[in-house]
Amino acid sequence: MLFTVNKSPFLFGHLDSCLQYAIKDTPILLIEDGVYAASKGTSYEKKLKEALGKFEIYALGPDLKARGIASVIDGVKIVDYAGFVDLAEKHNVAPWI
Q: Which residues bind a second copy (CB under 8 A)?
A: 10-14, 17
| Least Cβ distance, residue 8 to a second copy (angstroms) | 9
Q: Is 68 helix (H, G, I), strand (E, B) or coil?
A: coil
Q: How far apart are CA 16 and CA 61, in angstroms?
A: 21
- 80 interacts with, out of a second copy, another protein, none, CB within 5 to 8 A per kind: another protein
Which x/- pattern over 30-69 shows residues binding another protein (rule: CB under 8 A)?
-xxx--x--xxxxx-x---------------xxx-xxxx-
For residue 47, what are the contacts with CB-CB under 8 A and spacing of at least 6? 9, 16, 19
CB nearer another protein, residue 53 or residue 86:
86
| Least Cβ distance, residue 27 to a second copy (angstroms) | 22
∠ Cα 13 90 80 (to 5°): 65
